[in-house]
Amino acid sequence: MSVLTGDLLKDILAISITLILIIYVFLKRRFTYWANKGVECLPPTIPFGNAKDLLFRRSTFGELFKEAYKKFKSEGLKCFGFYLLYNPVFVIIDPELIKTVMTKDFQHFTDHGVFVDEEREPLTGHLFALEGLKWKNLRAKLTPTFTSGKMKMMFYTLVDCSKGLIEVVDNTINAGKALDIKDVVARYTTDVIGTCAFGLDCNSLKNPDSEFRKYGKTIFETSVKQLIARTLATTCPTLLRVFNLTFLNRESSEFFLKIIKETVNYRENNNISRKDFMHLLIQLKNNVKVKDEEHVESLIQLDESTEVGKSLTINQLSAQAFVFFFAGFETSSTALTFCLYELVANREIQEKLRNEINTVLGKHNGEITYDGIMEMTYMDKCIQETLRKYPPIPLIFRKCTRMYKVPDSGIIVDKGIRTFIPIYDIQHDPEYYPDPEKFDPERFSAENKADRHPFVWLPFGEGPRACIGLRFGLMQTKAALTCLLKNYKFTLNSKTHVPLKMSPKSAVLAAEGDIWLNAEKI
């Protein structure tokens, strides 16, 4: 006998109520997952779990675990549970357990657990997203491309881009205007990455409306549509196909794929070689092994016996060039922006850093050289303190790839469970960094670092899946700071809203609104 009444409105209402009840019961049971595991967790709310503020853009990723971190750390816990919508997430907050998971027991947490669909979205098939053997073999191939020797090879290309900063700042000073530093350094990192990863003169510093700048910005924009797509990618990726949504902005993906393929074809057809990352990728595409002068691939060895095809396909090459842009453009520009803001807020630190820059440059005939910026130890401290206070990616992502028993506990982490390490909270913990809101580069003196657990500063991750491009990111940041501070003194413009607030709409940690500085030629 049919349960339908024949009355359309009543039938729709009955079906809707039934579906809501089914979903409610499913979520109610789902939200007992951590309790059944004996893992502490803040009470979840249906249907958002513990992520309501994030989903409604009232919170940044950096603030996501703030309440839970304080509560459970004060209770002496090393980890706790969390619900990202209906997905259980395992959160680790103890530095020694973090060290164990990222190094000794890495084989249980080898994957990031982020979205990848190489068939529909080739640009998602990059090193950060790939899993298992695919990741292992690609990491082994790419590691030799990020040695100090390769950085030196690209350094002067990078310095040429930094010279464009001088022209932009001079023009701003001559016009009697304030400097929108967030925009300027983002255009600089766009030019640097565009040149080194794509082999293209993007001219974003000269032309803020260049195509590369336009499409680069859209990668990080979080429209409602993109927020829905990224939420589905995290919670139920099969629905992306159902609703014909893409994780990456479709128009931007098409632009980057097109421009990469055109660049590769042009170079190969005309036998063009340049000292950049694109050249190294083309070598890998053509099965030319990139020389590793430092033998740094010892952590990850290529599995020759199981690899199908030793060369990169054009889509694989495109994905690596894209992630180099994705990872290096916004994160470095964010770090530069926050560092300059803190140097303006702390004038004595700005002056001390400028003195170091001038002293080192004096040893190198006034030229910005690779060896010179490597000698700038106080600059290292300033950048490290910036990355402590403002980690561009405030969470480390892992996925449990084998069932894991947490040492010295009865907690079992099931295979497939996402694992987060909230580095923003850890790096703002007064136990590790007293007066954490104070900007103090001396926290990173050799003595202070020796007194602190090494796994309470993790902006680049750690272990075999540590950021492969950290040397390049630091290099372009140091080159820009050297170029700017040797030529200008900076002060805060009144248009900047103080104190800074972080934007809940950004995919990386970023200030809400613009940061305006006054520049004075030295």
- Per the annotation, binding residues for heme are 467
Query: Please, what's the b/e burial string for 207-242 (b: 16 or more CB within 10 A of its CB; e: otherwise)?
Result: ebebebbebbeebbeeeeebeebbbbbbeeeeebee
Between strands 418-421 and 79-84, the pairing is: unpaired
Half-sphere exposure of 440 (CA within 13 A, CB side): 13
Tally Cβ neighbours within 10 Å of residue 168: 19
Count of alpha carbons within 13 angstroms of residue 177, beta-carbon side: 9
Q: Closest by alpha carbon to 334, among 462, 233, 220?
A: 220
- Residue 521: strand pairing partners: 488
Residue 147 in 3-state DSSP? coil
Residues that constitute the known binding site: 467
Nearest to 138 by CA among 474, 468, 435: 468
Name, in order, each residue with C-beta under 8 angstroms of 450's C-beta and a sequence gap of 6 or more: none
Rounded to whole angstroms, what are the CA distances from 378 to 307, 357, 373? 44, 9, 11
User: How many Cβ atoms from other residues are within 10 Å of residue 369's Cβ?
Assistant: 18
Question: CA quadruple 349, 350, 355, 356: dihedral positive or negative?
Answer: positive
Closest by Cα among 116, 69, 113 to 93: 69
* DSSP assigned state of 517: E
Say how many C-beta atoms besides its own lie within 10 A of residue 287's C-beta: 10
Give me the residue label for tokens 């916004």.
330
Nearest C-alpha neighbor of 90 from the set 521, 419, 498: 419
Non-local CB neighbours of 171 within 8 Å, separated by 6+ positions: none
